């Protein structure tokens, strides 16, 4: 073979600093495990002042989903995980889409045959068997075919795959940054397919070739690939290439027994955003799914992306699987919602408020009631639906032991509140508040004894995101008095 091609490819490889890559397959959506891999890979590069690469691994055409690449770009952009090189921005080792590198893999597969690390296999196997590596190498008649016979079969146009030639004896040891040194018997490894009959590479071959040619120094992937790592090492050794740092991350689990899976209804990144979570909260929580900070930040939970860059260290990644806890995510999201400015919260909350509040109400005032009482944005419509229309409610809502109210007492309170509210010249929070407090004092009752029935009559709910004063102010004078009189009529009929 002409070695000039390979020398030219080697000359393009950048050296001298950390280079990482996120290499998703365009198979539909970005699940939580994918997002964590992208985040950790990005953090390793950014913490070291290195280069972060986006590569699209689309060689498995059978699983390709239209629009999936756009999902990847959109998710990365929304999360602030910017890439320095990739299909859309280019770079020194383009192309960054595997299907556009097809000829490259064929050349390297044939080079590996020349180096003795692979062989042509002409045996009839189904594609699924090829992909799974389900092949007994001891019985493989192609493994040690004379080169003349191989060439004759190639000249005759016989279909073939190219398989890795695993040593029959000895062991292979590889090092992982999380799991340490791992040694396996070569006899337990199969002669995996590297190049399929259609000329496309398998994942296990393509990612090794691409990682080398793109100068990748740290490879982050799931711990399910630990079993394949010895074969990757043997490929690197056969080519005479330096092995990158492996970082195998344990899986994200739905519970102690089951990995998260879209098949079982577990959420993707886009699902979580649609369910009312903020991107910043999701990223923060995902960062801590299998990683923990050290030193002065060991007890810290809330991290901005910039703070994660400063705090992130590979040694903080755990060997143990991480369990995805909705309650914990809700906590993180609530913290992030509370930390928004009033204006920023109103902006993200308004679309959800408008789902149930169509009337001409002060959105900022409604948002102010919600900010300290909301875990997810999708909680909002149900919390504020009473503004548009007073819901049908039960008279029992007027009974509250702590406020010392019952239907009879509540009727007296409303009978006193309505004329006082009608007499207010200006409908302000201060005037409503002061008027009700003064009225409670004149009636010689606790403030809550008056406020409870006013709030029930105004909202028709025992639990609301604001008190009687705020709700009455937002409803406006006419609507408040109309609702309180309706409450009086209900109580008078009991």
Q: For 431-471, what is each residue's pLDDT tens digit?
A: 999 999 999 999 999 999 999 999 999 999 999 999 999 99
Q: Spot the catalytic one: 17, 262, 319, 358.
A: 262
Read off the pLDDT of each residue in 274-302 and give the average, rounded to a whole number: 96
pLDDT in tens, 346-356: 999 999 999 99
Q: Please indicate whether residue 131 or residue 19 has the higher confidence score (pLDDT).
A: 19
What is the pLDDT, as a whole number, of residue 360? 94
pLDDT in tens, 144-199: 999 999 999 999 999 999 999 999 999 999 999 999 999 999 999 999 999 999 98
What is the pLDDT, as a whole number, of residue 133? 47
**Using CA atoms in the order 34, 39, 44, 50, what is the torsion angle rounded to 10 degrees?**
100
- With cut-offs at 50, 70 and 90, classify the pLDDT of residue 125: low
pLDDT in tens, 309-342: 999 999 999 999 999 999 999 999 999 999 999 9
Query: Is 262 one of the catalytic residues?
Result: yes
> How much is the pTM?
0.91
What is the pLDDT, as a whole number, of residue 170? 96
The chain-wide mean pLDDT, for the chain, equals 94
b/e per residue 267-295 (b: at least 16 CB within 10 A): bbbebbbeebbbbbbbbbbbbbbbbbbee
Neighbours of 266 (CB within 10 A): 18
Lowest mean pLDDT among 52-61, 91-100, 224-233, 358-367: 52-61
Q: Round to whole Å and give the CA distance between 305 and 309.
A: 6
79: pLDDT strictly greater than 80: yes
In 3D space, the residue among 409, 400, 387 whose CA is nearest the CA of residue 483 turns out to be 387
What is the pLDDT, as a whole number, of residue 138? 57
């Amino acid at each position: 073979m002409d070695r000039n091609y390979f020398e030219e490819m080697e000359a393009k490889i950048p050296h001298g600093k950390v280079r990482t890559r996120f290499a998703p397959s365009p198979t539909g959506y970005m699940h939580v495990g994918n997002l964590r891999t992208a985040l950790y890979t990005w953090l390793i590069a950014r913490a070291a002042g290195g280069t972060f690469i986006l590569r699209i691994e689309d060689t498995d055409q059978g699983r390709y989903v239209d629009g999936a690449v756009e999902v990847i770009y959109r998710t990365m952009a929304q999360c602030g995980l910017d890439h320095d090189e990739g299909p859309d921005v280019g770079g020194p080792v383009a192309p960054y889409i595997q299907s556009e590198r097809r000829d490259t893999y064929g050349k390297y597969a044939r080079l590996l045959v020349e180096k003795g690390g692979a062989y042509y296999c002409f045996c009839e196997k189904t594609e699924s068997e090829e992909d799974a590596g389900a092949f007994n190498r001891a019985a493989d008649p192609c493994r040690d075919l004379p080169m003349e016979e191989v060439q004759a079969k190639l000249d005759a146009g016989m279909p073939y795959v190219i398989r890795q030639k695993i040593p029959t004896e000895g062991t292979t040891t590889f090092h992982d940054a999380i799991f340490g040194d791992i040694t396996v018997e070569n006899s337990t490894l199969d002669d995996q397919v590297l190049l399929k009959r259609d000329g496309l590479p398998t994942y296990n071959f393509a990612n090794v070739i691409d990682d080398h040619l793109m100068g990748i120094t740290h490879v982050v992937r799931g711990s399910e690939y630990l079993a394949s790592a010895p074969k990757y090492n043997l490929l690197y050794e056969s080519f005479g290439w330096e092995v990158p740092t492996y970082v195998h991350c344990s899986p994200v689990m739905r519970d102690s027994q089951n990995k998260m899976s879209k098949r079982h209804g577990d959420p993707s990144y886009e699902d979580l955003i649609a369910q009312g979570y903020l991107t910043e909260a999701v990223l923060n929580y995902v960062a801590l799914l299998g990683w923990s900070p050290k030193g002065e930040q060991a007890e810290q939970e809330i991290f901005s992306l910039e703070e994660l860059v400063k705090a992130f260290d590979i040694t903080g990644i755990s060997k143990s699987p991480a369990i995805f806890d909705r309650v914990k995510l809700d906590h993180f999201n609530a913290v992030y919602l509370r930390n928004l400015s009033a204006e920023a919260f109103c902006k993200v909350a308004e679309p959800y408020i408008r789902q149930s509040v169509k009337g001409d109400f002060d959105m900022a005032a409604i948002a102010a009631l919600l900010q300290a009482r909301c875990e997810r944005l999708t909680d909002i419509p149900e919390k504020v639906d009473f503004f548009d229309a007073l819901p049908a409610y039960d008279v029992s809502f007027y009974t509250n032991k702590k406020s010392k109210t019952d239907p009879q007492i509540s009727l007296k309170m409303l009978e006193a509140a309505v004329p006082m509210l009608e007499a207010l010249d200006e409908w302000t929070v201060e005037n409503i508040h002061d008027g009700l407090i003064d009225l409670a004092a004149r009636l010689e009752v606790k403030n809550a004894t008056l406020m409870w029935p006013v709030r029930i009559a105004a909202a028709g709910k025992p639990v609301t995101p604001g008190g009687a004063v705020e709700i009455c102010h937002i409803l406006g004078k006419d609507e408040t008095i109309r609702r309180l009189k309706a409450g009086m009529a209900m109580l008078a009929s009991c």
